[in-house]
A = this chain, B = another copy of it.
Amino acid sequence: MSSSFGKIFRLTTFGESHGKAIGGIIDGVPANFEINVEEVQAELDKRKPGQSSIVTQRKESDTVEFLSGIFDGKTTGAPIGFIIPNENQKSKDYDHLKDVYRPSHADFTYAKKYGNRDYRGGGRSSARETASRVVGGAIAKQLLASKGIDITAYVDQVGSVKLSGEKDVNEIENNIVRCPNAEVAKKMIALIQKTKKSGDTIGGSIVCEINHVPPGLGEPVFDKLHAELGKAMLSINAVKGFEYGSGFDCITMNGSEHNDIFNEDGSTKTNHSGGIQGGISNGMPITMRIAFKPVATIMMEQETINSQDELVKLQGKGRHDPCVVPRAVVIVEAMAAMVALDMMMRDSAVDI
């Protein structure tokens, strides 16, 4: 019941980190759209493990294979089925976890919910599932681009190192932490490397912007544009908070400073609204910020319990990310793209 996302442009996923493959089905794709498969793979490459020194050193090619819905390079209108084979399954890495609940992981909650546990890499709770989201998002992005809409996300903060100074979106893919300022990027990378060395992990945040959305996108009441974006982002592993526009800073503001005053062309002088008013886009850039917690698996010894409710010592093993945000940038973009496209489709539905 929880493996589908979107109402019209709809991604359904399956797969655990240590099964044969993960994959998904994308329904609601318009016919006759030329899919750039290389670009889809390039997006996956931004998420894949082993891409740099500051991410997990697990090696996995994450190659997507399309099984249906594309004929002669174009969509047919039928659902697009795809798989991403699992290659580098060191299940042995997880043998020591068979009976132990890792602190702040989903081990305990899955065991309570399902009465069983796939301890190999977290099973369905593994962030590996997000690779399927990147495939869906990559196709959504291509469809949005054909309508002039683009999406950019970047790392805004790692620990206490926050983006400041100039912001150059062209810089984002020039550094391994995906920060739009080269100087700040260096500091972020240094902090991650230092954290990794100490066997610890660190939190961070990502900013995402959706640009060139015309006014009028979104639904009033329950399915407000930012409510759908919020759900999408909060569904990504390790996310703890979501804000758009002024976000939590609005708490200490007065209406007279928070209100976005119009220019004559309908744009606004400020963008505290984050491009959304009453749940509907106003034509300004849609801006949001997402908080990611430090990865729960640390290379330090921790006290925890096992399935017999006994206190045990746990020493982290395996290959894990010291900070998730560099690899999460493309996932954030994917979720934003799927929401934007799905909302466009809901919007055009009533336009018979």
Q: How far is the CA of A278 from the CA of B272 in the complex (A)?
A: 31
Would you list 26 pairs from A and B whose C-beta atoms are within 8 A, ordered by A residue? Answer: A1-B8, A1-B346, A2-B223, A5-B222, A8-B350, A14-B79, A16-B76, A20-B68, A31-B115, A31-B116, A76-B123, A77-B124, A104-B277, A110-B280, A125-B220, A200-B254, A200-B255, A226-B234, A230-B242, A231-B231, A243-B243, A246-B293, A247-B291, A253-B293, A264-B310, A346-B349
For the complex, is A345 an interface residue (Cβ under 8 Å from B)? Answer: yes
Q: A5-B222, A8-B1 are in contact. Are A30 and B124 (CB under 8 A)?
A: no
Check if B15 sits within 8 Å of A67, measured CB to CB: yes
Check if A294 sits within 8 Å of B253, measured CB to CB: yes
Q: How far is the CA of A79 from the CA of B345 in the complex (A)?
A: 19
Q: How far is the CA of A65 from the CA of B67 in the complex (A)?
A: 14
| A50 contact set on B, CB distance < 8 A | none
For the complex, is A28 an interface residue (Cβ under 8 Å from B)? Answer: yes
Q: A30-B352, A110-B280 are in contact. Are A248 and B240 (CB under 8 A)?
A: yes
| A15 contact set on B, CB distance < 8 A | 67-68, 81
The bracket for how many chain A residues form the interface is 35 or more
3 nearest A-B residue pairs (beta carbon): A106-B278, A14-B81, A241-B243
> Distance (Å) between the CB of A23 and the closest chain B CB?
6
> Distance (Å) between the CB of A164 and the closest chain B CB?
15
For the complex, is A273 an interface residue (Cβ under 8 Å from B)? Answer: yes
Check if A205 sits within 8 Å of B240, measured CB to CB: no
Q: How far is the CA of A157 from the CA of B345 in the complex (A)?
A: 38
Q: How far is the CA of A267 from the CA of B247 in the complex (A)?
A: 32
A293 nearest CB neighbor, chain B only:
B250
> Which of A54-62, A169-177, A179-187, A301-309 is the contact stretch?
A301-309
For the complex, is A219 an interface residue (Cβ under 8 Å from B)? Answer: yes
Using A262-B303, A264-B305 as known contacts, list a sample of 18 further A-B pairs with CB atoms less than 8 Å apart, ordered by residue number in A: A78-B220, A101-B262, A103-B259, A109-B276, A109-B280, A110-B278, A201-B255, A201-B256, A204-B251, A227-B234, A228-B231, A240-B248, A241-B243, A243-B243, A253-B293, A256-B300, A345-B350, A348-B350
- Beta-carbon contacts under 8 Å, A258-286 to B: 258-266, 268, 272-274, 276-283
